[in-house]
Structure 1
Amino acid sequence: MSDIRPLVPLLVTAGILIGGNGLLATFISLRGIREGFSPSVIGLIGAGYNIGFAIGCIYVTRMLRAIGHIRTFSAMAAIAAAASLSMALVVDPIVWFVMRLLAGICLASLFATVESWLNARVTNANRARTLSIYRLVDLGSVTAAQYLIPAIGVEGFGLFAVISMALSLSLVPISLADRSSPAPPEACRFDPRALWSVSPLATVGAIVVGLTTAPFRSLGPLYAADMGLSVTAIATFMSAGIIGGVVLQYPLGLYSDPLDRRKIILAATIGSLVSVLFIALLAGRNEAANIAGIFLFGAFAMPLYSLCSAHANDHAAPGQHALVSAGILFFWALGAIVGPLGASLLIDHFGSRALFLYMAVILALFLAYTLRRMGQREGVPTNKRRFRFRALLRMSAYFNRLPARPEGEPPPPRQNQPKID
């Protein structure tokens, strides 16, 4: 474990950030309901975060190159904490939209900073172990944070304060670690058209993942509350979808390596479609049925991002893999911006079950498109694939790159971080 010990401050920082961000996403929806916001307003606020996240992913590399990792992290953590507190001081949909947009920019930059730093620290000897620990930190912190909502309560200033404290305290481990800082990241050319030329299916798949999973994060608490679930049950409902996203990541991914990946994408899409139809048509107000349904949705829907990324990389030429990662993230962000808006408008008119009927329509269309693409293009033979499947539990600017360094290539040299006076 000695090779992991230097990474502990970064992993602790990541856990605090991920937990605080996951708590805020659920809390904002529940607090919005208490404040009398309509589903469309809550969806707009959720879309604001995703707009900011997309902006942050595009511009964070420039910031890291200009001012370094520590300064970037400090500035973004301070702004995110202030934005969270501002939502407690001014309860207004427009203010909340702007604050969530700012938080999206900051959180994308914070995640990218931590993951860029991790990428510079890992070696081929400890990469797999580091990624496993990182995923456990990711899952554990998000799941545990959900239960602060019933413990503290949705009303009042308490949860806003806890979230702001978490964002501020994330500075502590990373500031007390050694003063060395990784070399600035290489500039990455951004060309969304490149992904379409490499794989139309992966492009559409990334959009579909955004269109379906982002509304779950933004509007899932609203649906659960409307079904009569208690605050504790809502926390369990949201956690079940996140935990489900882990269960089939590796089985589906590893099974896709020796096969035409599109068959596994097809199977995951069918599983996702069945699960949302079960929730919309059969689960009703039954707490156990809703939790089981959302667990299955997470299990099948969350791996689609990783499967589409792997499929695109199968077709990518040498030198295109960074463009593919950036393109997948960009098109996911487009879907994540539009999804909460479209789903919330449907909920306004047809009730909360429309959330999952909307998802069913999107997934059914993607199922048809996948079948069409399978008839138009041959799969990549297994012996010609350059990359194996990699499970990507979260979408951010650098998570895709953590396992990407070829075997035998050493990590980039570290630079001494200039003293901040």
Structure 2
Amino acid sequence: MVQFLAGAWALLLGILLLMLGNGMHGTLLGVRGEIEGFSTTEMSYVMSAYFVGFLGGSKLTPEMIRRVGHVRVFAALASFISACLILFPVVSNPWAWVAIRVVIGFCFSGVYVTAEGWLNNAASNETRGQALSFYMIVQMLGIIAAQGLLLLGDPSGFALFVIPSVLVSISFAPILLSVVPTPAFDQSKSMSFRNLWSLSPLGFVGIFLLGGMFAAQFGMAAVFGTEVGMSVREISMFVAAFYVGALVTQFPIGWLSDRMDRRVLIMLVSCASVFGGFAGSIYIENFTALLVSAFVLGGTVNPLYSLLLAHTHDFVEHDEMAGTSGSLLFVNGLGAIIGPIAIGWLMNRFGAVAYFGYMTALMAVLAAYAAYRMVKRPAKSIEDTSSFAALSPTSSPIALEVAQIAADESMESDNER
């Protein structure tokens, strides 16, 4: 592992800087949109636009890499991100922001595909699982730390938009100057939605619902904060609480996942998420209660993503894993695109409390559907299931596939001892 870190520290540092820039700009837009006088509906379209671009990037980047290579793709996309970030305060129009967010989402998706391919290539078979765990931790720490950067300036000014632009600009310097060789990129076999549904209805439905949940956390949390009158400091703490929860609970839930019927665990974790959302809607005027609610929601929703991936992979062969991962990412993206728009409409109609009401309803549906699936199909034996692989919803199909294979190999190695 020491050898891997010695060779990949520049790559991980670059990813950390990217996540600092991405995590900061997402929250900053929610605050600045209120200052600019944009409505909740307009901001919901702005937040949704990121996921439209993200979905497009995950589909088109592999072809771009095959044509011109990892280095050129990474440098070009990161440059576009840096340029777009400083356009937000210049163009004070919600529809211009929508267009910019589509471009940023596309570019970040492409950057993740490229960086995760490099990370996979830098790791050996023995260190791949640990490498991806480091990657996930770096991602989470980057987003959490980014919220503190919001306190360095006035959100109504220009400086806070310059900071993420600079962070993204310098992020690709350590990556492109490192000695990590560029990996080969192979075309993977696709998995149709019909086949995915027949293999795992719970995985299909759950991943779609979690797309809406992730959009609520990543995109609309700052918009909610401005609606209820939070200060910039309070908004940064509120958004960070989601990711702190995810960081704390991911591995304990993963440990349980490999030792029990995953559908039972999905139902129980979803119920805990319902409790967190319901508490937030009741105590919406209590900031401490909102922090606890955000911690619970983040600590359940993010592990559920990895849990549903592992559950779906229980029913596919290894050579189908790449196609399955790509299809799951697409389904998750559809949910993420719809999520902010749905939240914006609900908040306009019912007020800020609808933010938590929306998340509570989605998790209640997931809990009920998991219970329903338990009576439709018998549980697989623990020995026949794949291993839990901790992942972030921002991960590309490369990370989804490699993490699952690495986790399975690690489990097989432990069983042989």
TM-score (norm 1): 0.93
Q: What secondary structure does 2:162 align onto? A: helix
Residue in 1 that maps onto 2:58: 57
Query: Hey, what does 2:221 align to over in structure 1?
Result: 220
Look up the equivalent residue of 2:20 and give its one-letter code.
G
- Residue by residue over 1:267-293, the C-alpha shift from the partner in whole angstroms, topping out at 9 and shown as x without a partner, is 111011110000001x23211111011
AA at the equivalent of 2:219: S
Cα separation, 2, equivalents of 1:135 and 1:58: 22
Q: Is the 8 A contact 2:118 2:180 kept in 1?
A: no
Inter-CA distance 103–64: structure 2 relative to 1 (3 Å threshold): same
**Which amino acid in 2 is paired with 1:284?**
I
Match of residue 294 from structure 1: 294
Q: 1:10 to 1:222 in 2, by over 3 A?
A: same
Q: Which runs of 4+ in 1 moved over 4 A?
A: 405-408
For residue 153 of structure 1, give the secondary structure of its aligned residue in structure 2. Answer: coil
Q: Given the superposition, is the C-alpha separation of residues 407 and 304 from structure 1 closer, same or farther in structure 2, using an over 3 Å criterion? A: closer
Q: Are 1:389 and 2:388 counterparts?
A: yes
Contact 2:57 2:109 in 1 (8 A): yes
Structure 2: any 5+ residue segments left out of the alignment? 411-417
- The whole-number CA distance in structure 2 between the counterparts of 1:120 and 1:179 is 8
Residue matched to 1:97: 98
Asked whether the 8 Å contact 1:64–1:185 carries over to 2, the reply is no
Distance 2:357 2:134 in 1: 36
- Deviation string 1:156-196 (CA, Å, 9 cap, x unpaired) is 11111112111211121112112732222334425333321
Which residue in the other structure is 1:319 paired with?
319
State the alpha-carbon separation in 1 of the partners of residues 284 and 189 from structure 2.
47
- AA aligned to 2:104 is A
Q: Distance in 2 between matches of 1:162 and 1:402?
A: 33
5+ residue gaps in structure 1? 409-421
Matches within 5 A, 1:50-129: 50-129=51-130
- SS of corresponding position for 1:156: coil
1:413 maps to none
Alpha-carbon shift at residue 227 of structure 1 (Å): 2.9
- SS where residue 182 of structure 2 aligns? strand
For residues 116 and 26 of structure 1, what CA distance do their matches in structure 2 show?
28
- Which residue of structure 1 lines up, in the alignment, with residue 344 of structure 2? 344
Q: 1:180 to 1:383 in 2, by over 3 A?
A: closer
Aligned length: 406
Counterpart-to-counterpart distance in 1, 2:29 and 2:226: 13
Structure 1 residues 102-251: aligned runs within 5 Å: 102-178=103-179, 180-189=181-190, 191-251=192-252
How far, CA to CA, are the matches of 1:307 and 1:347 in structure 2? Answer: 30
Distance in 2 (CA, whole Å) between partners of 1:81 and 1:395 is: 19
Answer yes or no: is the 8 Å Cα contact 1:11–1:134 preserved in 2: yes
Distance 1:144 1:27 in 2: 13
Residue type of the alignment partner of 2:384: K
Is contact 1:42–1:218 with CA below 8 Å preserved after alignment? Answer: no
Deviation at 1:69, TM superposition (A): 0.6
Q: SS at the partner of 1:376?
A: coil
| Residues 186-223 of structure 1: per-residue CA shift (max 9 Å, x gap) | 34425333321210100000011011221222221122
2:246/2:302 contact within 8 Å kept: yes
Equivalent AA in structure 2 for residue 14 of structure 1:
I
| Aligned 8 A contact 2:203 2:309 in 1 | yes
Deviations 1:233-288 (A, max 9, x none): 2111110111101222121222121211000000111011110000001x232111
* Distance in 2, Cα, partners of 1:395 & 1:56: 12
Q: Which residue does 2:4 correspond to in 1? A: 3
Deviations 1:353-380 (A, max 9, x none): 1111112222222222222111111111
CA-based RMSD of the aligned residues comes to 1.6
Once the two structures are TM-superposed, the CA of residue 395 in structure 1 deviates from its matched residue by 2.8
Corresponding position of 2:413: none
Residue 278 of structure 2 contacts residue 357 of structure 2 at CA under 8 Å; is this kept in 1? yes
**Contact 1:116 1:185 survives alignment (8 Å):** no
Cα-to-partner distance string for 1:112-155 (whole Å, 9 max, x where unaligned): 10001001110123224323322332122111111111221211
What code does the residue aligned with 1:226 have? E
CA distance in 1, matches of 2:361, 2:235: 25
Give the % identical residues: 32
Distance 1:364 1:171 in 2: 41
Q: Assess, with a 3 A threshold, how the Cα gap between structure 1 residues 393 and 74 changes in structure 2: closer, same or farther.
A: same
Contact 2:4-2:122 within 8 A present in 1 as well: no
**What TM-score does the superposition give when structure 2 sets the normalisation length?**
0.93
| 1:319-365 residue CA offsets vs partner (Å, 9 max, x unmatched) | 22112211211111010000100011111121111111112222222
Amino acid at match of 1:25: G
Letter in 1 for 2:313: N
